[in-house]
Amino acid sequence: MLRQIVDTLVFNGDVFTGDKAQSHHQPGAIAIKDGVIVALGPEPEVMSMYDARRRIDARGGLVHPGFIDTHLHITAMPYHGTPFSKSLDGAGKRRPDYSRMKAATTAEATSAYAAAAACSLLQRGYTLFFEAGTVFETDAFADSITKCGIRAMVSAPFGWDDLSGFEKSYPHLVNEMLVRRAPVDARRVIEQCKYEIERNKNPEALVQGYVCLYGEGSATDDLTQEAAKLARDSNVIFYQHQSFHPDGVRAEKKNYGDAGAVRLERLGVLGTSTTLAHMNVLDEAEIELILSRKPGIVWCPNAALAFRVISQSKCWLPFLHRNGACISLGVDTIATDPIGISGVLSLYLSASLGDNLEDSDPFYMQTINAARNLGISDKVGSLTVGKRADVVIRELRDITHTSWLDDDGILLALSSSMIPVDTVLIDGKSVMEKGQLISVDQNDIVAEARRQREILLKRVYG
Ligand SMILES: [Zn+2]
């Protein structure tokens, strides 16, 4: 039989598909044409039917769908280790803090930080990330991301129209400079969301828009309903931070009668096209609503631990996961935590609660669940025929990087993002080879992000 010619064949892979119906092929192969997966399965089967102009030998390494981080603020990218809010050094002089720096970006800085984020993510096997509503210069962001060849989703920055409760519960997240740039104004927020959704007119674009409010009680009922309607009408998700800390939940209840899932249900916006980040502080009525309405939930276990929320409020997320809620993972503010840490932390946190996840759960939370929570599971999130070919091949030079008897165990190792990445394909195109980005120089990117950081520092602190 004549073999069909495709663009690319990945073969000799230890392929984990992310599709639970046919999860593992070893050795497995993937055939790719026009950026789309046209076949995958056991290698002999695929190779007997397809040949390709380009053949990529995975050399027995782990192959998986690109990971997706569903909550990340790139404005924090270059400020690793920086205090979150105002602090003083030993001599009583004010130290630079993330909260002021994030308000001071320029197009050049955003472009540099976006490229730096793309680099870090690709090196850890992520092919898509979700900017959670904190970028001002979204066009510079989209241009930079597209140049690097990674996917991202972006929305209006700081979508809020009522800071009366929010700035009391989260004073470290607001400052004068930020509010000047992101006015507390529903019209501004809706217009900016509409602007970002326009990107979706080109379904091939690597950067897509969605509807985002900042959340945590910083939007009125009217804005919340209008934003959710815009999302429904535009076929994108409605997303916000929700119930991060007990103080925020109390303030939202005081201002609006209810907080969290109960308030969103009252407003008629709790459903599968709504995704909520954090959900650390929940009561029983909310648990029931989440299990019946099935909104997406983004868990940032590192943020919950770092801000000591866990000691104040029972973490329900492992329970919700076991009972059918769709939970994905995000690293949130990477000023404190490295990309990739949320997978392992979700397991250890759940174990410490006596409510263990399966070792493989973080893998699915960062692939298929993540795609579902972003409203794009028809396109990405698993290696499935008909989906875009976003494929990661890991290095194989360490015995702990090989699967043997226990699929769950190796998926845990994968989810920890500790296994170095060799090759990344996005839309079937090589973005990374031998651990190096192809279209851009990683050293230049890091140097430029460092340069922009110094420029901003001078502007803010003189
Ligand atoms: Zn966040």
Domain boundary among 317, 341, 373: 373
Same domain membership, residue 79 and residue 34: no
Q: How far is the CA of 34 from the centre of ligand 1 (A)?
A: 35
CA of 189 to the centre of ligand 1 (A): 17
**Range in 58-62, 104-108, 148-152, 402-406 the model is least confident about:** 402-406
Residue 29 placed within a domain: yes
> pLDDT value at position 98?
85
Residues 122, 44: one domain?
A: no
Residue 11 lies in a domain: yes
Instruction: Label residue 186 by pLDDT band (50, 70, 90).
Output: very high
pLDDT at 84 over 80: no
Is 460 among the domain residues?
A: no
- CA of 233 from ligand 1 middle (Å) equals 25
- Cα 296 to ligand 1 centroid, rounded to whole Å: 15
- Give percent of the chain above pLDDT 90: 80
Q: What is the pLDDT of residue 337?
A: 81
Q: Measured in angstroms, how far is the CA atom of residue 212 from the centroid of ligand 1?
A: 11
Question: Which two structure tokens, joined as six digits, stand for 66?
Answer: 């690109």
Q: If you measure from the C-alpha of residue 5 to the centroid of ligand 1, how many angstroms do you get, rounded to a whole number?
A: 45
pLDDT tens by residue, 340-388: 999 999 999 999 999 999 999 999 999 999 999 999 999 999 999 999 9
Residues 230 and 260 in one domain: yes
pLDDT at 138 over 90: yes
Residue 284 lies in a domain: yes
The CATH number that applies at residue 320 is 3.20.20.140
Residue 1 pLDDT more than 80? no
In this structure, are 420 and 296 located in the same domain?
no
Is pLDDT above 80 for 450? Answer: yes
pLDDT at 115 over 90: yes
Residue 87 has pLDDT above 80, yes or no: no
Judgement on whether residues 352 and 321 belong to the same structural domain of the protein: yes
Number of domains in the chain: 2
Distance of CA 173 to the CA centre of its chain: 20
Residue 414 pLDDT > 90: no
- Are residue 397 and residue 276 in the same domain, yes or no? no
Q: Is the pLDDT of residue 403 over 90?
A: no
Mean pLDDT of 53-60: 96
- Judge if 10 and 138 occupy the same domain: no
pLDDT at 413: 82
pLDDT score recorded for residue 40 = 97
Structural domain contains residue 366: yes
Q: What percentage of the chain has pLDDT greater than the value 70?
A: 99
pLDDT at position 77 is: 85
CA of 271 to the centre of ligand 1 (A): 21
Q: Dmax over Cα atoms in the chain, in whole Å?
A: 78
pLDDT at 409 over 90: no
Cα–ligand 1 centroid distance for 109 (angstroms)? 20
Cα 244 to middle of ligand 1, angstroms: 9
**CATH code for the domain of 420:** 2.30.40.10
Residue 213 Cα, ligand 1 centroid: separation in angstroms?
11
pLDDT over 90 (residue 280): yes
Instruction: Report, as an integer, the average pLDDT of 211-217.
Output: 97
Q: Are residues 302 and 362 in the same domain?
A: yes
Does a structural domain hold residue 186? yes
Range of the domain at 58: 4-65+387-437
Q: From the CA of 98, how far away is ligand 1's center (Å)? A: 13
Point out the least confidently predicted range of 6-20, 97-111, 421-435. 97-111
- Same domain (yes/no): 281, 412: no
**How close is the Cα of 68 to the center of ligand 1, in Å?**
15
- Per-residue pLDDT band for 305 (boundaries 50, 70, 90) equals confident
Model pLDDT, residue 94:
78
In a domain, 445, yes or no: no
Confidence of residue 462 (pLDDT cuts 50, 70, 90): confident
pLDDT of residue 364: 96
CA of 2 to the centre of ligand 1 (A): 52
**Domain final residue, candidates 373, 402, 418:** 373
389/379 Cα distance (integer angstroms): 9
201 and 241 in a common domain: yes
What pLDDT shows up at residue 308?
A: 80
What mean pLDDT comes out for the span 203-211? 97
Looking at the structure, tell me whether residues 119 and 205 fall in a common domain.
yes
SS (H, E, C) 318-364: HHHHHCCCEEEECCECCCCCCCCHHHHHHHHHHHHCCCCCCCCHHHH
Cα 132 to averaged position of ligand 1 atoms, centre (Å): 6
Ligand 1 center to 134 CA (angstroms): 9
| pTM value surpassing 0.75 | yes
Claim to verify: residue 214 and residue 302 sit in the same structural domain? yes
Ligand 1 mean position, distance from CA 170 (Å): 12
pLDDT of residue 452: 97
Average pLDDT (257-264) is 97
Q: Does 430 fall in a domain?
A: yes
